[in-house]
Amino acid sequence: MWETVENFLLSGQRRYVVHIDLDAFFASVEVLLNPELKGKPLVVGGLPHERGVASTCSYEARKYGVHSGMPLRQCYKLCPQAVFVRGNYHLYQAFSEKFFRILHEYTPDVEEASLDEAYLEFTRCRHLYPSFSEAAKEIKRRVERELGLGVSVGAASNKILAKLATRKAKPGGFFELKPGQEQDFLRELDISEIPGIGPKAQVMLRLLNVHKIADLWQVPLGTLRSLFGVMGDELYLLSRGMDCRSLAVEGKPKSFSRETTFLKDIWDRDLLLAHLAYLCDRLALSLRQEKYYARVIEVKARYSDFKTVSRRRVLSLPVQETNRIYRVAEELFLELWEGSRLALRLVGVKGSELVEARHLSLFELYSEREERLCQALDRVREKYGFNALLTVREKMLSEVYEEDRGRGFILKTASLTR
Amino acid sequence: MNFSATKNNIINELGLLQGIVEKRTTMPILSNVLVKAGRGSVELMGTDLEVGLKTSFEAEVRQEGKVAVNGRKLFDFIKLLPEDQTIEFIKKEEHLVVRSGESEIKVLTAPEEDFPAIQDSGFDRAISWNVSDFKEMIDCVLYAITQEQRYYLNGALLSIKNNQLELVSTDGHRLSYTRREFEDLRVEKEINQIISKKTLNELKKFDDERVEFDFDDNSLFFRVKNRMLISRIIESKFPNYQAVMPKDNPNILNIEREALVNAIKRVSILSSEKSRGIKFDLKAGELKLFSSNPEFGEARDKLAVDYQGKDLEIGFNSQYLLDFLGTVTSDRVIFEIKDENSAVLIKPEAETKGTYLYVLMPMKI
């Protein structure tokens, strides 16, 4: 949680935080698989003519101004000689899991910020490590050795400074910000480096002639508060390298969700429902694997103009069964889409308000049929792969996507965020 | 307005009103009580628009009149005065002066015409019953009332028949049912009304022999001596509870209540904090209890019981079991179970004062 400046100044203990980031993660994995790509500009996310954005670009591609989040067409314009690949999400996931397994060996305090990025805190286990920076370097060496991927590491006394240190260390380096160096380090950085200063805030600050972080130091707290409300306190602290956020160490999940962007916009009702059914199937499977029931089901749709709508329902009986989830999701989806029947570029489904046990309802009949069906389904899939058993509706997707018998359809969206 | 009365006369009545008057001031006037001095007595009124209370105390009234004044301030001041003190109340323009000996407060009054009208009843139907029995019945249903969106579940169903009262409450996962005979209870036809949780809580504070009951299109009225509780009617249909009462569940567990309560409490220490789920593993002559929590560990317990039926594993919310078992007086309780997915009927083995039933849905753990 964010604190007021006054509260922050009252606390105060030296912390040891490491930020660690896999360099150009997806692209590096692709190079590892196909060494011929080494040294070439590489864009992961889709083919040049396809819609969607680049999810990662190799450093060679970045030289041409290409960056992640940029539409593929534009990437192609800037760097036509780049190699474009759609990417292999399952593979990245596997690398990511290995990455985190290594990190968890060093400290229990690991925040998995995204697939390729983590914060580690050594404050609690400082007695185990004679040298903080040696420990950080050791982790870096191990990740490089065992994954074969480039990694950048920043070490400092809190999250914001560690992250900024990593940025300085990139690519492939190590940078430790020692106590007392913070001011000089921050002084010349652009305000856009501070997470939380979005485009709007930047405009406001630049109007006040605030460009560098040192300029921000001149702005009184009161002014920041009146400009940004509670965020003002945050900016005041972050710009001084003060950050009391603790690591979001993995606790219990709050929700599970599955979504996908289509290869091209879809308005065919059956094909949309096929996607939805498949996503519900995947969602239900992860709920069952993690032993949760969802009390709330939410469906999301994005139109071709990027307008995004969603609809949710609170259920009296929490669910983890594929059919139960799909029935609700279908109703919700049709409620929000049937009125317009416009083409969509994305659908998603989310289960939240998770519970570990469900209380049956007095006023609704309960039958174990769905539960048993799912148990049987899970057993078959465990043995023969996810796509060994699909509903007719889901099967429609085989006309659109490649199938990996073990892991299901290879959908388009590969996402770095968890 | 000018009157005086002793602290003992006032304080209980004013105290009762504290439970009624609005603490969060969505409508500032509702944080006030209306003080109305008439001949020989003073009436006090408070309401949150859902539940209202009208009560009175004896006083020496020198000048009649009424004011609306902050109930909390008045109560806090009078509470701190010595016992048996005579307290003077005088309205002076915008203020109410409350004085006792050398102590005095002067409280700003609110415009009494803004105070919402509180309905009244003549209690012409002459329906009444025993208070202490009724209070015991309330305890049997209060805990199963939820505060949630489904408005009809925010209260208990009161069903009045000739010689008989029923109270029923449910939160969708469990249902409490209690019925008692009242020999002198007479109604022309059956009355079914939903009473809010707040009203039931207030009724529990009443002491006397009898409570009188009446209703009109908008309100329910309960009167015990000088005190009258007015409760706005919850206009919804109560769920068809008879349909979910299990009949002829074949597996019967007869168990000592105290031993069961203790075992549940021990085992639930390691149940999931959110779901409070524990498992019953039933075999002839034996009940094993089990709970686990990935963060902390697991707990087991075993009781020798009288169980007749098939081997069964069934999950329950431990808190829901304790809610019921804590309001039962009988030494033994009986569980009538069908299977791990169907409603279980739980009841005291020996019932001295009417009927008390608990219907509980299992939990999938």
CATH number of the domain encompassing residue A196: 1.10.150.20
Residues pairing with B315 in the sheet:
B279, B363
Cβ of residue A131 closer than 8 Å to a chain B Cβ: no
pLDDT for position B25: 63
**Furthest CA-CA distance within chain B:** 78
Give contacts of B173 with chain A, Cβ < 8 Å.
359-362
Query: Residue A332: what residue type?
Result: L
The answer on pLDDT for B147 being more than 80 is no
Report yes or no on A247 lying in a domain.
Answer: no
Report yes or no on A174 lying in a domain.
Answer: no
- The stretch B85-93 carries a mean pLDDT of 93
**Rounded Cα distance, A103 and A43, in Å:** 28
- Ligand-binding annotation for A21, yes or no, is yes
Q: Which site among B173, B176, B319 would you substitute to test the A interface, given the most A Cβ atoms closer than 10 Å to its Cβ? A: B173
What's the token pair of residue B40? 């020989």
Cβ of residue B272 closer than 8 Å to a chain A Cβ: yes
| Residue B139 C-alpha, separation from nearest chain A C-alpha, in angstroms | 21
**Rounded Cα distance, B355 and B168, in Å:** 12
Residue pair A279/A332 in contact (Cβ under 8 Å)? The answer is no
Identify whether residues A99 and A225 lie together within a single domain.
no
Reference A55, options A66, A64, A63; nearest CA is A66
pLDDT for position A377: 93
For B236-293, what is each residue's pLDDT tens digit?
888 899 999 999 999 999 999 999 999 999 999 999 877 889 999 999 999 999 999 8
Q: Which site among A293, A360, A368 would you substitute to test the B interface, given the most B Cβ atoms closer than 10 Å to its Cβ? A: A360
CA distances to A317, B57, B343 from B363, rounded to whole Å, are: 11, 51, 10
The answer on pLDDT for A408 being more than 90 is no
**Rounded Cα distance, A137 and A131, in Å:** 10
Give contacts of B362 with chain A, Cβ < 8 Å.
360
Entry pTM: 0.70
pLDDT for position B148: 64
Identify whether residues A213 and A269 lie together within a single domain.
no
Reference A118, options A82, A157, A162, A76; nearest CA is A162
Report yes or no on A284 lying in a domain.
Answer: yes
CATH classification at residue A107:
3.40.1170.60
Give B133: exposed, middle or buried? Use CB within 10 Å, 0-12, 13-18, 19+: middle
pLDDT for position A239: 84
Q: Is A403 a catalytic residue?
A: no
pLDDT for position A250: 66
Note whether A356 contacts B274, CB cutoff 8 Å: yes
**What order of strands is seen across the sheet that includes strand A308-319?**
A255-266, A344-355, A293-303, A308-319
Reference A254, options A391, A381, A350, A390; nearest CA is A350
- Ligand-binding annotation for A215, yes or no, is no
| Residue B278 C-alpha, separation from nearest chain A C-alpha, in angstroms | 10
Query: A370-378 — which CB contacts under 8 Å span 24+ positions?
Result: A370/A321, A370/A323, A370/A324, A371/A321, A371/B364, A373/A321, A373/A323, A374/A284, A374/A288, A374/A320, A374/A321, A374/A322, A377/A322, A378/A285, A378/A288
Note whether A360 contacts B317, CB cutoff 8 Å: no
Please provide residue A360's backbone torsions phi and psi, each rounded to the nearest 5 degrees: -70, 155
The answer on pLDDT for B18 being more than 80 is yes
pLDDT for position B152: 64
Report yes or no on A168 lying in a domain.
Answer: no
**Rounded Cα distance, A103 and A380, in Å:** 34
The answer on pLDDT for A348 being more than 70 is yes
The answer on pLDDT for A284 being more than 90 is yes
Number of domains in chain A: 3
| Residue B125 C-alpha, separation from nearest chain A C-alpha, in angstroms | 35
**What does A291-305 look like in DSSP terms, one character per residue?**
T-EEEEEEEEEEETT
The answer on pLDDT for B233 being more than 50 is yes
**Rounded Cα distance, B223 and B121, in Å:** 10
The answer on pLDDT for B23 being more than 80 is no
Note whether B173 contacts A368, CB cutoff 8 Å: no
- The stretch B285-306 carries a mean pLDDT of 92
Cβ of residue A375 closer than 8 Å to a chain B Cβ: no
Give contacts of A316 with chain B, Cβ < 8 Å.
172
Q: What is the mean pLDDT of chain A?
A: 85
**What does A391-414 look like in DSSP terms, one character per residue?**
-HHHHGGGGTS-EETTTEE--S--
- The stretch B153-182 carries a mean pLDDT of 92
Highest mean pLDDT among A70-79, A127-136, B5-14: B5-14
Radius of gyration of chain A (CA): 24
What's the token pair of residue B329? 């007086």
Identify whether residues A392 and A317 lie together within a single domain.
yes
Identify whether residues A295 and A359 lie together within a single domain.
yes
**Rounded Cα distance, A209 and A227, in Å:** 14
Identify whether residues A318 and A234 lie together within a single domain.
no
**Rounded Cα distance, A29 and A42, in Å:** 11
Cβ of residue A372 closer than 8 Å to a chain B Cβ: no
pLDDT for position A299: 96
| Cis preceding linkage at A171, omega within 30 | yes
What size, in residues, is chain A?
418
Identify whether residues A306 and A397 lie together within a single domain.
yes
pLDDT for position A414: 45
- The stretch B90-115 carries a mean pLDDT of 92
Identify whether residues A191 and A147 lie together within a single domain.
no
Q: Which site among A250, A354, A362 would you substitute to test the B interface, given the most B Cβ atoms closer than 10 Å to its Cβ? A: A362
**Rounded Cα distance, A329 and A310, in Å:** 11
Residue pair B5/B86 in contact (Cβ under 8 Å)? The answer is yes
- Structure-token match 């003190």, residue found: B85
Reference A165, options A25, A3, A21, A57; nearest CA is A21
The upper half-sphere exposure of residue B124, i.e. CA atoms within 13 Å in the direction of its Cβ, equals 4
Report yes or no on A45 lying in a domain.
Answer: yes
Catalytic residue among A117, A182, A234, A321: A117
Please tell me which of the candidates B239, B275, B359 has its beta carbon nearest to residue A356: B275
CATH classification at residue A343:
3.30.1490.100
Give B285: exposed, middle or buried? Use CB within 10 Å, 0-12, 13-18, 19+: exposed
pLDDT band at A6 (very low <50, low <70, confident <90, very high): low
User: Which three-class secondary structure state does DSSP give residue A328?
Assistant: helix
Q: Which of the pair, A5 or A46, is modelled with greater confidence?
A: A46
For A308-323, what is each residue's pLDDT tens digit?
899 999 988 899 999 9
What's the token pair of residue A242? 């003060």
Residue pair B59/B6 in contact (Cβ under 8 Å)? The answer is no
The answer on pLDDT for A410 being more than 80 is no
**Rounded Cα distance, B175 and B158, in Å:** 14
What's the token pair of residue B115? 């105070």
Identify whether residues A280 and A396 lie together within a single domain.
yes
For A197-239, what is each residue's pLDDT tens digit?
777 888 888 888 888 888 888 888 888 888 887 778 888 888 8
Q: What is the DSSP letter of B269?
A: T
Reference B261, options B314, B311, B303, B312; nearest CA is B303
The answer on pLDDT for B102 being more than 60 is yes
Cβ of residue A358 closer than 8 Å to a chain B Cβ: yes
**What order of strands is seen across the sheet that includes strand A83-85?**
A56-57, A42-44, A83-85
Chains A & B: contacts with CB separation below 8 Å: 51
Reference A155, options A132, A186, A139, A172; nearest CA is A132
| Residue A353 C-alpha, separation from nearest chain B C-alpha, in angstroms | 11
- Structure-token match 């604190």, residue found: A3
What's the token pair of residue A64? 């041409």
Q: What is the DSSP letter of A77?
A: H
**Rounded Cα distance, B140 and B167, in Å:** 8
User: Which three-class secondary structure state does DSSP give residue A66?
Assistant: coil
**Domain ranges, residue A196:** 184-240
User: Which three-class secondary structure state does DSSP give residue A178?
Assistant: coil
- Between strands A174-176 and A151-156, the pairing is parallel
Cβ of residue A316 closer than 8 Å to a chain B Cβ: yes
The answer on pLDDT for A1 being more than 80 is no
Share above pLDDT 70 across residues of chain B, in percent, rounded to a whole number: 98
The whole-angstrom distance between residue A317's C-alpha and the CA centroid of its chain comes to 30
Report yes or no on A14 lying in a domain.
Answer: no
Q: What is the mean pLDDT of chain B?
A: 91
Identify whether residues A229 and A305 lie together within a single domain.
no
Give contacts of A363 with chain B, Cβ < 8 Å.
172, 239, 244
**Rounded Cα distance, B179 and B354, in Å:** 6
Identify whether residues A198 and A119 lie together within a single domain.
no
| Residue A355 C-alpha, separation from nearest chain B C-alpha, in angstroms | 7
Report yes or no on A163 lying in a domain.
Answer: no
For A142-178, what is each residue's pLDDT tens digit?
888 888 888 999 988 888 889 989 988 888 889 888 8
Report yes or no on A278 lying in a domain.
Answer: yes
Reference B264, options B276, B247, B248; nearest CA is B276
Identify whether residues A225 and A260 lie together within a single domain.
no
Identify whether residues A235 and A263 lie together within a single domain.
no
Q: How far apart are the first and last CA of chain B?
A: 65
